């Protein structure tokens, strides 16, 4: 059974304390909830939270992509009050254009 690999860090700067996570979920690995549950356990304690990584789940996609895993990503984004930083699709195959890689932020207005 393949599980997502991830690291969750607390970063302390002179201006703030923030939560940062980097995640990689191998293709068709499932178990996104393991990372999501772990991150959610921390994110409610931080004003500034960020997630970056490759989750290999189609979200932010057009049809006919397989978007079953994408629902879990959308629920995670909503649950942690994060915003997806839009860079455009990162997956292109046939008529499918979707986002497999993500950068999420709780404070998107502070990103440059």
CATH assignment of the domain containing 97: 3.60.10.10
Query: Does residue 20 carry a pLDDT above 70?
Result: yes
In angstroms, rounded to a whole number, what is the distance separating the alpha carbons of residues 88 and 79? Answer: 23
> Tell me: the pLDDT tens digits for 30-60?
788 999 999 999 999 999 999 999 887 766 5
Strands 17-24 and 5-12: antiparallel
Angle at 70 between CA 17 and CA 1, to 5 degrees: 85
**Residue 6 DSSP symbol:** E
User: What is the domain count for the chain?
Assistant: 1
Supply the range of the domain harboring residue 68.
5-110
């Amino acid at each position: 059974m393949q599980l997502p690999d991830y690291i969750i860090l607390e970063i302390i700067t002179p201006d703030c304390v923030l939560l940062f996570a980097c995640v990689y979920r191998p293709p068709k690995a499932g178990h996104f909830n393991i990372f999501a549950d772990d991150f959610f356990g921390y994110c409610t304690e931080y004003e500034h939270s960020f997630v970056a990584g490759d989750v290999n789940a189609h979200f932010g996609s057009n049809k006919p992509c397989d978007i079953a895993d994408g629902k879990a990503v959308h629920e995670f984004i909503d649950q942690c009050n994060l915003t997806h930083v839009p860079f455009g699709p990162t997956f292109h195959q046939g008529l499918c254009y979707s986002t497999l890689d993500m950068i999420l932020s709780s404070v998107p207005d502070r990103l440059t």
